[in-house]
Structure 1
Amino acid sequence: MKVYLDNNATTIVDPQVFAEMEPYFVQRYGNPNSLHIFASDTHPGIKAGMERIYAGINSPREDSVIITSCATESNNWVLKSIYFDQILTGKKNHIIVSEVEHPSVIATAKFIESMGCKVTYLPINSEGLIEAQSVEENITDKTALVSVMWANNETGAIFPVEEIGAICKKHNVPFHTDAVQAIGKIPVDVQSFNVDYLTFSAHKFHGPKGVGALYMKKGKELMPLLHGGSQMGGYRSGTLNVPGIVGMGKAMEQAIDALDYEMSEIRKMRDAFEDELLKIEDTFVVTPREKRTPNTILISFRGIEGESMLWDLSRAGIGASTGSACASEDLEANSVMEAIGAAEDLAHTAIRFSLSRYTTQDELDYTLKVVNAAVIRLRGISSSYAYAPAGHESGLDAHHH
């Protein structure tokens, strides 16, 4: 049996999404910016795709949604443009991010920090959550941007973007949120929260890889990251990814339609699966369920290296992860585990299971059997497990049965 439980890394392209994209590769292949019939053949698809994307995040038409190659590009764009517009010019000198942002935000923050910008990295608490109050405490009159993700890719923790947005508005500081892990899992609405910039990628909600977007509020337009042409109103040069726009639009529409299913049925399946995993001795999960996206579990098995567990799972045909896919080549301790101050013997033991609307109960039952067998095998050969003092030295309660 093959079981895919790594949906926070990427998702299957929904067959209906693929069907809608297909004509734009071979039949309607014109460059949308050309002035002939081959170009105009692509326009209805682009228009429909854009309308679905605007609707999906409830963006008013006067605001801008700019298509990019991915959320990594969009995140880079926000931070680097703020640097060029605000910091290089000497108007401001400071930005605030959380310490558990996606690497595309953290690495960009470190880059502009090396260019002389001051960066505050907000800590997360023992539940893996940012406290909105910490944003308020760190804002100064020199703060050019606050960037805090909507939901965390590792734990699924949902950050208090509503309160953070309100704090930013009060202090007149632009607010950016990386909503990659939120769209299709929880409602994302740019009008009900004070969000100036919002970024996302299609491949996290059953759309194609290689296409994402940046939402910009009217009056908060950024300097382009890419120069060279008039595409996207001059904000992002480069020939439009027509099939990507069509596919992202369709995937967005379907993600919104499936939201109730995700928040009820997928959540129920996730909770029951988690209950069974927690019956295994010396396991713990970060972030309370009700404060998490409905599809995500980050669980630690004391005495078991995450990579060893992944090996056993993978041999049995199961895909999961030990951390973010972007960082999985370098086997460092899970960043969230480090951030909440987990003891060293737990920081390397985290496994992330992330479900999708395609996940079945049979797949989860099979995975449980494999996990249980792997725990017995790996703890049996573990040099650390027999001697690991179970309990509270990590500041986290292990589950004992």
Structure 2
Amino acid sequence: MSRLIYIDNAATTRLDPDAFEAMKPFLLEHYSNPASVYSFAQESNQAVEEARAAIAGTLHADPGEIYFTAGGSESDNWALKGVAQLKRKKGNHIITSKIEHHAIFETCHYLERHGFEVTYLDVDEYGRIDPEALKAAIRPETILISIMFANNEIGTIQPIAEIGKIAKEHQILFHTDAVQAYGHVPISVEELGIDLLSASGHKFHGPKGVGFLYIRKGIALPSLIHGGAQEHGRRAGTLNVPGIVGMAKAAQIAAEKMEERSQKETKLRDYLIQRIQKEIPYAKLNGHEKLRLPNNVNFSFRFIEGESLLILLDQNGICASSGSACTSGSLDPSHVLLAIGLPHEIAHGSLRLTLSHENTKEEMDFIVDKLIKIVKQLREMSPLFEDFEKGA
């Protein structure tokens, strides 16, 4: 393989070198447990608290509202299960959407097996919920609204401010899975009316295995993990000091460079979209054209299958992902693509390209040039495409 083009940043991002440098002292020198009482441990403890304050600053939150976790899935589980336990006497109804990440879906299914009711809101063809449908779904026993900030597959950004306003008007807690959005778009929990927010370090050039949950002051969320008294007694387990420090550094860098990175990524994203739309027939852009993450491109190509597309791209040194769930061992297409109305046969031929500020225009051209040839090659092997051409 002569070259490698990584364009799967929604799956994970490269660790920022400055974040790595910030982590090193806490791997090799200041390796103490921050919960210990001796003075050697205070450097680790201080680093954790500085990281907490730094992350809080990026959200316009208070440091005491940031709780460190092992990542986005744990944060999502804690938010949903915690609210369910906290508000059980008030009600047992939760509202979410049909395009949530599996960390939300599977947690909701777990809660349904334990006596809770969940409404899964429809989305439009772009993947956005209707705020009026949200209002209509609210019941006296509704205790939580959990809607993702931006979709991990198609990049569509939800009307978060409107959702927050509706939740506040009805005195319902509002959680958002911001794993794909945090570090990429501006977020103010106060302005948007967010009560709980999940994020994961490796989605914004921080390390893997660390994340956080924002919990608004006054919400006495019970623990998900029991044991020691870490995180003010609300999340047991020895803190991952190097991970926390690295995540905070990456968060600071992302906040400082957000406008610059966003402009570059949006320009590359739109260039990639325009070339594909212009040069590859029967290609459909999935997600909203403008209200989407700056780095997300998702297309469905008729008459081809996503797994074959990924394999051939990989042979050309291009790391991407598919809208199809085939790579996880399932024959079913993406639940997100089905929710926006794509038929199975088209949803199976989907491709997600998620770039970063490190990508270049030359790489976008290389990707499209290879994609044109691969799509043509796969369609020539497809009896469905042959029949379509004859019919046309």
Q: Which range, TM-score by smaller chain?
A: over 0.9
SS at match of 2:191: coil
CA contact 1:322–1:328 (8 Å) conserved in 2? no
Note closer, same or farther for the CA distance 1:123–1:327 as it changes in structure 2 (3 Å cut).
farther
Distance in 1, Cα, partners of 2:134 & 2:250 = 33
CA contact 1:310–1:320 (8 Å) conserved in 2? yes
Distance in 2, Cα, partners of 1:78 & 1:43 = 25
Query: Out of 28, 35, 39, which is 1:26 matched to?
Result: 28
CA contact 1:9–1:324 (8 Å) conserved in 2? no
Letter aligned with residue 307 of structure 1: E
Distance in 1, Cα, partners of 2:327 & 2:86 = 30
Give the CA deviation at 1:388: 4.1
**Aligned counterpart, 2:240:** 241
SS at match of 1:292: coil
**Aligned counterpart, 2:103:** 104
Note closer, same or farther for the CA distance 1:100–1:230 as it changes in structure 2 (3 Å cut).
same
Distance in 2, Cα, partners of 1:170 & 1:325 = 38
SS at match of 2:128: coil
Distance in 2, Cα, partners of 1:143 & 1:198 = 19
**Aligned counterpart, 1:152:** 151
**Aligned counterpart, 2:77:** 76
Give the CA deviation at 1:289: 2.2
Distance in 2, Cα, partners of 1:207 & 1:326 = 28
More helix by share: 2
Aligned-pair identity in percent equals 40
Give the CA deviation at 1:295: 0.5
**Aligned counterpart, 1:125:** 124
SS at match of 2:378: helix
Distance in 1, Cα, partners of 2:237 & 2:288 = 43
Distance in 1, Cα, partners of 2:116 & 2:388 = 43
CA contact 2:325–2:332 (8 Å) conserved in 1? no
Which segments of 5 or more consecutive residues in structure 2 lack a partner in the other structure? none
Distance in 2, Cα, partners of 1:194 & 1:364 = 37
Is 1:370 equivalent to 2:386 in the alignment?
A: no
Give the CA deviation at 1:330: 2.7
Query: Out of 43, 46, 50, which is 2:45 matched to?
Result: 43
SS at match of 1:290: coil
**Aligned counterpart, 1:297:** 297
Distance in 1, Cα, partners of 2:182 & 2:159 = 15
CA contact 2:210–2:243 (8 Å) conserved in 1? yes
Deviates more, 1:3-12 or 1:338-347: 338-347
Give the CA deviation at 1:38: 2.5
Give the CA deviation at 1:19: 0.8
Runs of 4+ with >4 A deviation: 324-327
SS at match of 2:187: coil
* Structure 1 vs Structure 2 CA RMSD: 1.9
**Aligned counterpart, 2:166:** 167
Give the CA deviation at 1:377: 0.8
Deviates more, 1:50-59 or 1:172-181: 50-59
CA contact 2:266–2:294 (8 Å) conserved in 1? yes
Deviations 1:163-222 (A, max 9, x none): 000000000000000011111221111111101100000000000000000000011120
SS at match of 1:298: strand
Q: Normalising by structure 1, report the TM-score.
A: 0.93
Letter aligned with residue 96 of structure 1: I
Is 1:202 equivalent to 2:201 in the alignment?
A: yes
**Aligned counterpart, 1:58:** 60
Note closer, same or farther for the CA distance 1:289–1:127 as it changes in structure 2 (3 Å cut).
same
Distance in 2, Cα, partners of 1:48 & 1:179 = 22
Give the CA deviation at 1:341: 1.8
Give the CA deviation at 1:325: 8.4
Q: Normalising by structure 2, report the TM-score.
A: 0.96
